[in-house]
Amino acid sequence: MDTSIRKASKEELPVIRQLALDIWPATYSSILSQDQLAYMLDLFYSDPALEKDFDKPGYSFFLLELDGKNAGYAGLELKEDQTAHLHKIYLSPNYQGKGLGKKLMQFIIDFAKKTGAHSLTLHVNRHNKALQFYQAVGFEIIKELDTAIGNGYFMNDYVMKQVL
């Protein structure tokens, strides 16, 4: 298995969008209604939403490739207070269980450390099976957070943190 992780260019945002369209239904169909899933994909992965994230100071997208095929992505924001927030990290279901998620997460942790961040946070749906993965790689739940995202929908998350 030949894997690589690299910072994504603005021209690769459509690749990230397509990965999300492929990954999200498998990840969230048992947690969210189809309507909420479609709403959230548009909210977070429309071209304008991805471009807004890309252009935000301190924000970077990363792509993971396996044998030349796009297998996953991450979105990380480095903040002025020496913290980092992992907004997105997803791996195609076809590639899960092969250690690639751990590899991508370690890349993100190392990248955040190199930039001087002293902690890394993320939000995860309280019913997402990825919760156990995050705990296994050193994240701890620090609080619950319910965020209104429009159309009467909420994100019901745990906020997790890892000291770097």
Domain coordinates of the chain in residue numbers?
Answer: 3-163
User: What is the Cα gyration radius of the chain?
Assistant: 15
Torsion from C-alpha of 66, 125, 34, 71, nearest 10 degrees: 0
Task: Note whether 141 and 159 are within 8 A (CB).
Answer: yes
Instruction: Check residue 123 and give its pLDDT.
Output: 98
Backbone torsions φ then ψ of 103, nearest 5 degrees: -65, -45
- Provide the pLDDT for residue 159: 98
Distance of CA 104 to the CA centre of its chain: 10
pLDDT of residue 1: 76
- The rounded distance, in Å, linking the Cα atoms of 16 and 73 is 7
Distance CA 78, CA 5 (A): 18
- What fold characterizes domain 3-163? Aminopeptidase (3.40.630)
Q: Quote the strand ranges of the chain, DSSP E.
A: 3-7, 59-66, 69-78, 83-91, 119-125, 140-150, 153-163
- pLDDT by residue for the chain (164 residues), tens only, comes to 799 999 999 999 999 999 999 999 999 999 999 999 999 999 999 999 999 999 999 999 999 999 999 999 999 999 999 999 999 999 999 999 899 999 999 999 999 999 999 999 999 999 999 999 999 999 999 999 999 999 999 999 999 999 99
**Among 85, 145, 147, 158, CA closest to 121:** 85
Confidence at residue 154, expressed as pLDDT on a 0 to 100 scale: 96
pLDDT for the residue 20: 98
